Amino acid sequence: MFNSYTTTTLQYDPSLCIGCGVCADVCPHAAFEMKERLAYLIAAQACMECGACQLNCPVDAIRVESGVGCAAALMRAALTGKKEPVCT
């Protein structure tokens, strides 16, 4: 599992969740898991701040400063020749 962040801007308010499951479906790093129609943030450290969960949550239960996470890591890996993209 990709684990480049020890802290992220990701914030989740479970009191707003209506259990649609979209965040778990769209997250490329399985940060969310559904249990009994409620999303659980089970791997915040895996978040690359892509913003997909925030963009797709119908009740704005998720906040994240997105826009550079994966893209920055991939560009840095390409420029430095590293095989494993790492966000810093």
Nearest distance in Å: CB 88, ligand SF4? 16
Phi, psi of 26 (to 5 degrees): -90, -20
Please report, as ranges, the residues that interact with ligand SF4 according to CB under 6 A: 10, 17-23, 26-29, 31, 39, 47-53, 56-59, 61-62, 64, 66
3-state secondary structure of 33: strand
CA-based angle 28:25:5, to the nearest 5?
30
Nearer to ligand SF4, 47 or 73 (CB): 47
Nearer to ligand SF4, 74 or 81 (CB): 74
